[in-house]
Every structure is written in structure tokens, then in C-alpha cells.
Structure 1
Amino acid sequence: MVNPIRSGNMRKPNEIMRILVTTFVGGVFGFFLGVSFPTLSLSQLNFPSSLIPSIDLTYIEDKYSGLSTEAFLNAWSSLKGNRGSSLQFSLNETKIWVPTNPRGAERLPPGIVESESDFNLRRLWGMPSEDLAIKPKYLVTFTVGIDQKKNIDAAVKKFSENFTILLFHYDGRASEWEDLEWSKRAIHVSVYKQTKWWYAKRFLHPDIVASYDYIFVWDEDLGVEHFNAEEYIKLVRKHGLEISQPGLEPNQGLTWQMTKRRGNSEVHKETEEKPGWCTDPHLPPCAAFVEIMATVFSRDAWRCVWHLIQNDLVHGWGLDFALRKCVHPAHEKIGVVDAQWIVHQSVPSLGNQGKAENGRAPWEGVRERCRKEWEIFRSRLADAEKAYYKGVGIDPPNSTEV
């Protein structure tokens, strides 16, 4: 641009007028250009750090490339009160986007979000903060039919007020338990002819049971004369077990050596099996293994196990061989509690809920499906692991089989 002052002398009046006209025309042209393209480049603006919180302006500019100057200034004005916040806000006034909010709750301010729940009973009156005299720390579930009412009554009495009791009724006769005093404090879920893993997948979501330190997922045919739940929890904590079960009475026709109670120890985590049954001393059924009849899970372990349970495979066969995938190292965090032991009474009550077909008894069809589900689960898990390793370009380890 030519300097209007040269050698100390003013330019001629016509040159000064030309400069003024040019400046005016340029200003008018810039105004109309700005109206026609009202997009503001946020990343090129330099706002004092004391006036605006730490926000990724490039991210906002990319996501809202059509943002008008007016809209940005309105949004910036609303953000000034949140100085120092690490939250990322959508510039739409009707939506607050926070990375920690659960999916679907993006429109809620994070301070109001309650993503977890429990089975604690609440009153219909009084103050909510005064509802619970004692807040249970643990959850125990039984899948039951009315024929095992006496046995379940004895079992429930082994659990203190620190336990929430949840009964899954597979025979539709939940009302017939109302004469038991503790039944009025228990939670009852009744769905006709379903298994405990069907119930678990639908009613024990990790966010629903998140307030409980341990979750017991038990069958109905367990003798508990030698079992104390509070003492059991103490031993589980002492030995660092994330997945466990009580030892089983050894004279009741056991399938696996691992679950057999030992009289000279509090807990055991490994065993010796029949020749050829264990490919590795740290793998099932010689270690990292408990059965699915009386399993106890820590909160963290259950969050993984719930996702491992297949929605359509309701008997859970094969699941006990895969539980090790949810804790590490599994051979140290999965074990059997010998000092608190139970008796598996082997009552085929659920088997009798099957259907007699082609001259076969109801339990035969149930058992056949159990075996089929084991094969399906084994194949699914192996295929999923192989697909993952192939996707990342590495050879799968030899221990992916269930």
C-alpha cells in the first residue's frame, strides 16, 4: 500500500479522495461478504484463557461446521460460568453431552444420572433416607419350585440380614411361599419353566446388582447344615477369590475332583484329575474351575460373567469352563471353600419341567438340550476368539477351547 505521506508533504487532494473511496467500498464489500458467509473459524480465535474453559475448539468446529457467529457467541456466553470444567458440551441448548453419561442419557446433566439400582425394598411413606435400617451388602438368588420349599427355607435361614434374598420361581407358584416369615422381605420373580441362567441374564444385569459385593447364584437342591454365609464371605475375602463355591460333600457321587471338599484346608484352588483330563495344571478342571450349581461371584467378576452368559443358552453347560476368562490370574482367583461346605442333593426337579416326547421322559429332553448347548457354547467361544486373533493378525493360543 502506498504511503499517503512522502518526504514530509501531503498528497494531492484527489489522491486522498481516491483512498477514502477505496476504503469505503472495501468496507461495504466486506460487510456483504460476511453476511453471505456467516461461518466463524473457532480454532483461529484467540480467547484469553481466563474467559473461556478448556474446550477443544477444533473438535467443535469440525462437528458444527455450519455454526453461525451468533450461535457460537451465545454458546460461549453460557460456558463462561463453567470455568475449568473438563466436560464437552454440545452447542445445542437442549442437549448436554458428557462422556461419562450412560448411552441414552446424554440429555441429562451428570449429577442427576442414576445408572445403578438394587433390590432393596422401599416404603411408600416417610423420608427415602430413612427407608433402610440395614443396607444389605450381598445378594443370594435361588431358582425354586414349591417341592423344594422346605429345603429353601432351611437354606435362607443360613443367610443373615446382610443378604438380599431373591427367589426365581419356575413353577408359577410364588404365592404359596407367603406363609414363611422371611418371604415377605424377599424378592419374588415368577416365570413359568425357566432356568436360573435365563433369569440371571434378564434380572441380574451388572448395573442392577452393582451395590452388592458378592452375588450368589444357587440351585435349590443344596444341603446347608455345615454352611454359614458370613463365615464364607470372610474366607473368600481372605483368600482373594473372585469366583468361588462351597466344597461339596465327597460321598455324594461327585463328577469333578476340584469341587470335592478337603478336610484339612480352608480353601483350595487346584487339584489332580484323571489322566488326560487336564492339558495344563492351571486350567479347568484342575484349576480355575468351579461348577455352576452353587457359584459365588464378586461384583467385578459378575460384570464380566453376565456378558459371557448367552441369551438363548439357558442351561449354562460349559459356562463353568469359561469363567476363568473373567478373572486374572484365574488359577489364583477361582477356588473352592472347604471350611464352609454343602451337600448337593441332586434333585432333578427342573428336569421334570420338561416335555415328554416320542416315548421319552421329560428329563431326557432336558438333558439332551443341556449337552447340545454345551457344544454350541464351546463352538461360539472358540469361533469368537479365533476371529478376534485373526482380526489383529496373531496366532491364537492353544488354551481357547472350553
Structure 2
Amino acid sequence: MAKLAGLGRSGFLRHSNESLRLIIMTIIGVVVGVLIGISFPAVSITKLHFPSSIISYIEDKNSGITTQALLNHAWTSASQNKNKPSSSESAKIFVPTNPRGAERLAPGIIVPESDFYLRRLWGNPSEDLPIKQKYLVTFTVGLGQKRNIDAAVKKFSENFTILLFHYDGRTSEWDDLEWSKRAIHVSVRKQTKWWYAKRFLHPDIVAPYEYIFIWDEDLGVEHFDAEKYIALVKKHGLEISQPGLEPNKGLTWQMTKRRGDREVHKETEEKPGWCSDPHLPPCAAFVEIMAPVFSRDAWRCVWHMIQNDLIHGWGLDFALRKCVDPAHEKIGVVDSQWIIHQVVPSLGNQGQAEKGKAPWEGVRDRCRKEWTMFQDRMSDAEKAYYKLMGITAPNTTHA
């Protein structure tokens, strides 16, 4: 009996020791597992790419590969690839040298510039354009000057894209003119050509054109040929130009007066005291805003100088010189291709009578006010720049 009791106690103790050992081993196993888990990055089962041998095991239970072998292989693959970016991360595009806003696009798809070329609704896009015009001419027009614009447009060859800005909202009445069907028409009521230019002639839109004409509607062009004009502009290296004005009509400045003894002139003499420097406006580096012609590069600068709210453009002509260097060499008047300023007061008629003033008086007052505002803004901007750079401002005169 004592022996049986001893055996009982011995078996009980042995069973207790084994249970304790099992518990301790389990705890140790859990701790080790936790430590191992911490030492490895989290691995999503969806990111584990199992080889075909593993898939075969799943399909063939008799392959002999154990579950432990599968897990060992998976952990080994995860460890080897833990420092490699995922395919979605490595496929992201970011090119800081792309145009602003397009950094996430592949450079090969970016088209940073546009044009006014008309496209068909059918066929192969590469066959749309039998000719790509090299120059752009814009007129700001009302229906009252339709006949005059018709005559003017016919002075421009098929190398020119024709763009009309309609300030009276009447566009369909131009449809009977054959060239009008191929022209670009923009209609916004009671705006000026500089308002249109700032909004529709962005440098990246007109980039395909070597020269941009921004003309008024009341210009007589009997003695003008656009192709010959372009040839002279290129010959004399003019970045900003205008045709000479017939001396007896619509003349304000001596600089723009046509001279009959030459192709081009770049300087003149004005009234005493008007020119502090023979290389500065209005004696040089100067054309008026009624019929300016800009090279592509010059226009890119001038466009940025046009103010959104100063829509008459008064003062711009004296500041154009800021956009080319040396201005007195690259700004000039083409004498042998000349025009007549007919001085039609159509813009004044677009005003509104206020405070006892006629519509044209209000328009003229605003023009003068804008001239002063533009001069002040230009002066203030330059002073701020020189101050920021610690530079003594040059002694220049703003006419």
C-alpha cells in the first residue's frame, strides 16, 4: 500500500513537472515569437509573391513540401525585399523641371504651348493643316468698320492667322466675307484691344507665330503690304515696330511720322525739352499703341507688363523699351510700308454718359488716369527692385 502510495505521489509529481515545463516552454515560445515579430517589418499576405512550386503544393497535397517550409520561404523572400520600394511607389512620376502643375506627368506627353490653327472634326490630325501660318494679325472691331477691316485683311497673305476681337458683340454679320469663315472671332462687348490681348494672346498661345500685329480698326492700308513689311522688319532687326504714319492725318509724335527717303528709321527730333536722352522716348525706342508689331520674344515680355485693370494701354508705348536691348536699335518705324490713321472715335462711343459728361469724355478721362497709374506702378516696381538688390537706381526719365 505504501508502495502504491509512493508510486502515486511519484506519478503525480512527474505529471506536475511536465505540465510546468510545458507552460514555461509555451511562455518562452510566445516571448520569442513576439521578439521575432518586432524585428521583422509587417508583411501583408497580399504582398507575398509565392513561386509556382508553392502553388503546386496547394494543388498537390502529395508534393512533400511541408507548411513549415512554405513559411520559411515566404519569410526569406520578405526579408530580401524589405528595402525595395513597392511597384506602385516606384511607378509614381514627379518631374520638378516640368511646367508648374504638370510635375506628375511624363515629360513626353506635355504640350506647353498652343495656337489658333483650325482643326477638322474628322480625318488624320497630321493632315489637318495644309499650311501653318507664321504670323498673327489681330484687329479689335465693330461692325461699323467692316468695310475698312475687309480692305485691311486683304493686305495680309495666307501666312497670317486672322483674329478679330468684337467689342460690339456682332459677329454673324461678318459671315458674308469669305476670309471671315477662316478667321478666329472672339466676342466680348465693350472691351479694348489690350483687355483682349491680356486674356487671349498669352505668349504660350501665340508661340507659333514669329510676329504678332495688334492693330486698331481705323487704319488705311492702301500703301501697305504685310509680307514686304515682315521682310523689312527682319532686315533691320526690329523686335518692336510699326508702319510709318502718313504725315497729314492722325499724327501725334514725330517718331511715327513717315519719312519718304528711307526704309526704316529708329530715331527723330522732337520739341525742345521733350527728350532728355536721344536714345529714349519719344525720340527713340518708341512706337505708338495704335498699330504695333511684336516679335515673339518681345511680346512674351510685353504681355507680362500689361496690367489687368488698365485696359486702354496708355503709357505702354513709353515702356516697350524695357522689353528689348538695346531698345534704340531694336524698336523702329517702317517708312516704306506706311498706313493712314483715320481717327475714327469708335472707342469713345462705347463709353457711358456720367455726371454730365458725354460717353467719349469719360473714356478719355480714364485713358489719362491710366497713363498716370501705369507710370507710377512701373516706377514703384523698379524702385522696389533696386532697393531689394541694394543697387542705386539709374537716372532715367519716364516721359
Query: Partner amino acid for 1:202?
Result: R
Query: Partner amino acid for 1:154?
Result: A
Indicate which of 331, 335, 346 corresponds to 2:343. 346
SS of equivalent to 2:396: helix
Q: What is the match of residue 271 of structure 1?
A: 268
Deviation at 1:100, TM superposition (A): 3.4
CA distance in 2, matches of 1:71, 1:215: 59
The verdict on how the C-alpha distance between 1:399 and 1:123 changes in structure 2, with shifts beyond 3 A counting, is same
- Higher mean C-alpha displacement, 238-247 vs 91-100: 91-100
CA distance in 2, matches of 1:107, 1:94: 11
Indicate which of 89, 103, 106 corresponds to 1:106. 103
Q: Is the 8 A contact 1:140 1:215 kept in 2?
A: yes
1:214 to 2:242 alignment: no
The total of aligned residue pairs comes to 329
CA distance in 1, matches of 2:291, 2:97: 35
CA distance in 1, matches of 2:111, 2:284: 39
Query: Partner amino acid for 2:224?
Result: F
Q: What is the match of residue 190 of structure 2?
A: 193
1:397 to 2:380 alignment: no
The verdict on how the C-alpha distance between 1:94 and 1:322 changes in structure 2, with shifts beyond 3 A counting, is farther
1:299 to 2:310 alignment: no
Query: Partner amino acid for 1:249?
Result: E
Q: What is the match of residue 85 of structure 2?
A: 74
Q: Is the 8 A contact 1:138 1:212 kept in 2?
A: yes
Indicate which of 164, 169, 174 corresponds to 2:171. 174
Deviation at 1:354, TM superposition (A): 0.3
1:236 to 2:233 alignment: yes
The verdict on how the C-alpha distance between 1:184 and 1:283 changes in structure 2, with shifts beyond 3 A counting, is same
TM-score normalized by structure 1? 0.78
Q: What is the match of residue 280 of structure 2?
A: 283
**Moved >3 Å (runs of 4+):** 28-36, 69-72, 91-95
CA distance in 2, matches of 1:386, 1:72: 54
SS of equivalent to 1:142: strand
Q: Is the 8 A contact 2:41 2:82 kept in 1?
A: no
| CA deviation map 1:54-102 (0-9, x unaligned) | xxxxxxxxxxxxxxx9686337xx8xxxxxxxxxxxx955642224311
CA distance in 1, matches of 2:371, 2:317: 10
CA distance in 2, matches of 1:353, 1:224: 25
| CA deviation map 1:150-192 (0-9, x unaligned) | 0000000000000000000000001110110100000000000
Structure 1 runs not aligned, ≥5 long: 1-27, 37-68, 79-90
Indicate which of 333, 336, 341 corresponds to 2:330. 333
SS of equivalent to 1:74: coil
Query: Partner amino acid for 2:110?
Result: V
CA distance in 2, matches of 1:351, 1:71: 74
Kindly indicate which of the two structures has a greater share of residues assigned to helix: 2
| CA deviation map 1:195-224 (0-9, x unaligned) | 000000000000000000000000000000
Indicate which of 290, 299, 319 corresponds to 1:322. 319
Query: Partner amino acid for 1:277?
Result: W
SS of equivalent to 1:96: coil
The verdict on how the C-alpha distance between 1:201 and 1:92 changes in structure 2, with shifts beyond 3 A counting, is farther
- Higher mean C-alpha displacement, 367-376 vs 251-260: 251-260
SS of equivalent to 1:365: helix
Q: Is the 8 A contact 2:241 2:332 kept in 1?
A: yes
Query: Partner amino acid for 1:196?
Result: K
Q: What is the match of residue 157 of structure 1?
A: 154
Q: Is the 8 A contact 1:385 1:400 kept in 2?
A: no
The verdict on how the C-alpha distance between 1:105 and 1:263 changes in structure 2, with shifts beyond 3 A counting, is same
SS of equivalent to 1:193: coil
Q: What is the match of residue 45 of structure 1?
A: none
Q: What is the match of residue 364 of structure 1?
A: 361
Identity of aligned residues (%): 79
TM-score normalized by structure 2? 0.79
The verdict on how the C-alpha distance between 1:137 and 1:72 changes in structure 2, with shifts beyond 3 A counting, is farther
